Structure 1
Amino acid sequence: MRKMYLMLALLTLLYSSCAERRNLVYFSNLAKQTGSERLQEQSIKIQQNDLLRINVSSLNQESNILFASNTQSNNSTPSYYLEPSGYRVGYNGEVVFPVIGSVKVGGLTIAEAQDLVVSKLDKYVKQAIVEVQILNFKITVIGEVNKPSSFVVAGDHINLLEALGMAGDMTVYGKRENVLIIREQNGQRIMKRLNLNQQDALTSPFFTLRQNDIIYVEPDKSKAIEYSPNTRLMPIVIASISAVAVLITALLNSK
């Protein structure tokens, strides 16, 4: 009988030890007395298939009407220039803009694209003010988060923590030490893993996200063990052994 109880205790210990002990604290090696450090500027660059809003304003009202943003109703702008909500960057990195025609903005930062459009407009509109914005800046968060989804970002700046916050943060099963960022850049797919338990992740060039980035949070081993068929049967096996042990003990005591 003692052997049976010992076996039951060992099974219980084995089951409880399957869960992996992990650090759930972000940047746990960060000093308690935090300081400050200079951030490196990481300007977003316009890519193929981006949808741009291009606003032009000047002192000339007629010019303002001609170059009115295509996010608004504008009968003076030919329809073949426009998409329902913006100017699409083609595979060659160009957009087609009223009057000035094709403008190559692919690979430029927002500021560089604005300066380029201003220079192209100079012979038509003096002292024009140009605003360029990416309308379909999207990131995707999948894996061990509470609300996996794709998110359209207002503006052109978001970091990894903000993206995880939009996805409801990681679950307790998410491996904070192994977050995968998938990025398409210059026709290549780049993959980078960040350890969010470490302070160094804050200075990684992948901490600041770019349009169309995918964030994958990998589950830890404990979830795989928890959802495996053998693990699901373990409580039933232990309960059955316990019931048999109690029954045998009762029978022996009754004699």
Structure 2
Amino acid sequence: MKKFFFPIILSLLFMLGSCTTRKQMLYLQDLDSYANSTLTYTSPKIQPNDILKIDIGDLNPVVAAPFNMNSGTTGAQNSVDMMRLSGYLVNPQGTIMMPILNEVKVGGLTPANAEIKIKERLINENYLVNPTVQVRVLNNKFTILGEVNAPGVIPFSEESISLLDAIGMARDLTYSAIRKDIKLIREVDGKRLVYHIDLTTASWMSNPNFRIRQNDVIVVTPNKLKANSGGLIKDPIQLLGIVASLSALIIVIAQ
């Protein structure tokens, strides 16, 4: 009989030991220590496969019109989806083809710096006297995978968003997520960067590198219980049910 109980007891101890503790579950546990801390922002750089919307204006709209790819579109054609289809796609060399100006190198520049570069060309090449230039990335998106309630590819309209915003857009982490090691994968200037973020502390919040940018990938790893069970055990409530069932089985057998 003891030989029969031994593996069952070991299994129970393993499952209980794999339970996620309160300290492992709570976000930003030392948040008060970082209150009133200085925030810094860095503007993301334009990368290959970005789709740009570039608007060029002038005091005389007629002379600026030839420099705008979609100057004649109206109504439904001005939707974001249509602009993505007809925007400027940044090629692998980091260049775009614009009307009249032809090839323009924008890869590696921030949108603000790209605006300055295009404006300078318009003036220096005697096309416009006092132009206005606005550059915006249309296809901002991030991918979030693993232990979140709504994984997938999620678009956003801002230049960058916070990691907490991204997790909220994915409907939060699951009970089985390891909050102390969120992986952020980013490609910059042909290099792949990997960051490890501990959500149980607020220390990462002041780091501008941890704001989510275009094409970022967030990976949330499952805890040992979820990984070892092959996903069959999804949360602590289910685990308690299994433990209760095994305990009842042991009592029945012992009688």
Counterpart code for 2:224 = K
Query: How many pairs align?
Result: 237
Q: Percent identity?
A: 33
Which of 1 and 2 has greater Rg? 1
* Unmatched 5+ stretches in structure 1: 75-81, 247-255
Between 237-246 and 40-49, the greater mean CA deviation after superposition: 237-246
Partner of 1:218: 221
Listed as ranges, the gaps of 5+ residues in structure 2 are 75-82, 234-238
Q: Deviations over 1:129-168 (max 9, x none)?
A: 1110001111111111010011111031212111111100
Whether contact under 8 Å (1:143, 1:216) holds in the other structure is yes
What residue is the counterpart of 2:79 in the other structure?
Answer: none
Contact 2:69–2:98 under 8 Å retained in 1: no
Shift of 1:23: 2.1
Is the CA contact (8 Å cut-off) linking 1:71 and 1:84 kept in structure 2? Answer: no
| CA distance, structure 1, for counterparts of residue 112 and residue 158 of structure 2 | 14
SS at match of 1:211: coil
Structure whose residues are more often helix by fraction: 2
Whether the aligned pair in 1 keeps the contact of 2:184 and 2:218 (CA below 8 Å) is: yes
State whether residues 71 and 86 of structure 1, in contact with CA within 8 Å, keep that contact through their aligned partners in structure 2. Answer: no
Q: Which residue of 1 aligns with 2:173?
A: 170
SS at match of 1:23: helix
Partner of 1:249: none
CA offsets 1:23-55 (integer angstroms, 9 cap, x no match): 2111102227x6312222311111111110000
The alpha-carbon distance between structure 1 residues 102 and 18, as it changes in their structure 2 partners (threshold 3 A), is closer
Correspondence for 1:251:
none
> Could you tell me whether the CA contact under 8 Å between 2:57 and 2:133 is conserved in 1?
yes
Q: Which amino acid aligns with 1:176?
A: R
Q: 1:26 to 1:237 in 2, by over 3 A?
A: closer
Alignment correspondent of 1:53: 53
TM-score by length of 2: 0.80
TM-score by length of 1: 0.80
Q: Which residue of 1 aligns with 2:77?
A: none
